[in-house]
Chain A
Amino acid sequence: MSDTTTTGAEKRAEKLDSASSRRARIMGGVLIALALLVLFALDVAPGESATFRLTTPRDAIQMSPLVVPGGPFNMIAAALLAFLGVRQFLKGGTRWTNISLGIGLAILVMAFLVWATAGKSFSLTGMLQATMVRAVPIALGGLAGVLSERVAVVNIAIEGMLLAGAFAGALVGSLLGGWVGMFAAILTGGCFGLLLAALVVTYRMDQIIAGVVINLFVLGVTSYVSSQVFSEYRFLNNAPTFRAFKIPLLGDIPVIGPMLFNQNLFVYGALILVAVSTYYLFHTKNGLRARAVGEHPRAADTLGIDVYRTRYIHVTLAGMVAGFGGAWFTLGSVGRFDENMTNGRGYIGLAAMIFGRWHPVGALSAALIFGFADSIQQKLALLNTPIPSEFLSMAPYIATIIVVAGLIGRSKPPAANGSPYVKE
Chain B
Amino acid sequence: MSDKRPDLKDVNERMRGLMARTTHGRDDFEDLVIVPLFAVVVALVFGALIMLATAVDLPTIGRSFVALAVGSVGSLSAWSETLTASIPLVLAGLGLGLGFRAGLFNIGAEGQLLMGGLAAVVAGFTLSGLPWIIHLPVTLLIGALVGALYAAIAGFLKATTGAHEVISTIMLNLISYRLLDWLLRQPFIQREGRSDPISKDVPPSAELPRILDFIDVNLRLHAGIFVMLAAVALVYWMLFRSKIGFAFRASGENPSAANYAGMNAAFVIVLAMGTAGALAGLAGATQVTGVLGRASPGFSAGIGFDAIAVALLGRSHPIGILFAGILFGALEAGGRQMQVDAGVSIDLIGIIQALIIIFIAAPLLVRAIFPWGFRKRGKKAGEA
Residues of A within 8 A of B (CB): 1-4, 8, 19, 22-23, 26, 156, 199, 202-206, 208-210, 212-213, 216-217, 219-221, 223-225, 227-229, 343-344, 347, 350-351, 354, 388, 390-391, 393-394, 397-398, 400-401, 404-406, 408-409, 413, 417-418
A-B contact pairs, 23 of them (CB 8 A): A8-B260, A23-B161, A26-B160, A199-B365, A205-B365, A212-B308, A213-B358, A213-B361, A219-B354, A223-B347, A228-B54, A228-B56, A390-B179, A394-B174, A394-B175, A394-B179, A401-B172, A404-B157, A404-B164, A404-B167, A404-B171, A406-B161, A408-B162
A347 lies within 8 A of B167 (CB): yes
Alpha-carbon gap, A400 to B174, bound state (A) = 11
Alpha-carbon gap, A197 to B254, bound state (A) = 25
Residue of B nearest to A344 (CB): B174
Alpha-carbon gap, A216 to B358, bound state (A) = 10
| Complex A-B, nearest 7 residue pairs according to Cβ-Cβ distance, in ascending order | A220-B350, A220-B351, A224-B347, A217-B354, A390-B182, A216-B354, A205-B362
Contacts of B312 in A (CB 8 A): 209
Residue of A nearest to B168 (CB): A401
A418 lies within 8 A of B1 (CB): yes
Alpha-carbon gap, A209 to B345, bound state (A) = 26
Residue of A nearest to B105 (CB): A208
With contacts A22-B160, A390-B179 known, is A208 near B166, CB below 8 A?
yes
Contacts of A404 in B (CB 8 A): 157, 163-164, 167-168, 171
B263 lies within 8 A of A213 (CB): no
Contacts of A212 in B (CB 8 A): 107, 308
B163 lies within 8 A of A405 (CB): yes
A216 lies within 8 A of B357 (CB): yes
With contacts A217-B355, A221-B351, A225-B54 known, is A408 near B161, CB below 8 A?
yes
Greatest chain A CB density within 10 A among B348, B350, B362 is at B362
Residues of B within 8 A of A (CB): 1, 50, 54-56, 105, 107, 157, 160-164, 166-168, 170-172, 174-175, 178-179, 181-182, 260, 262-264, 305, 308-309, 312, 344-345, 347-355, 357-358, 361-362, 364-365, 368, 384
Contacts of B50 in A (CB 8 A): 221, 224
B354 lies within 8 A of A417 (CB): no
Contacts of A223 in B (CB 8 A): 345, 347, 350
With contacts A227-B345, A400-B171, A409-B161 known, is A204 near B364, CB below 8 A?
yes
Contacts of B55 in A (CB 8 A): 229
A228 lies within 8 A of B345 (CB): yes
A203 lies within 8 A of B161 (CB): no
Residue of B nearest to A399 (CB): B171
With contacts A401-B168, A405-B161, A408-B161 known, is A1 near B358, CB below 8 A?
no
Alpha-carbon gap, A206 to B357, bound state (A) = 12
Alpha-carbon gap, A1 to B268, bound state (A) = 11
Residue of B nearest to A412 (CB): B1
Alpha-carbon gap, A219 to B168, bound state (A) = 21
B171 lies within 8 A of A401 (CB): yes
Alpha-carbon gap, A101 to B50, bound state (A) = 49
With contacts A2-B262, A23-B160 known, is A220 near B347, CB below 8 A?
yes
Q: How far is the CB of A167 from chain B (nearest CB, A)?
A: 13
A224 lies within 8 A of B362 (CB): no
Residue of A nearest to B261 (CB): A4
When the two chains form the complex, which single residue of B157, B349, B357 contacts A405, counting CB atoms closer than 8 Å? B157
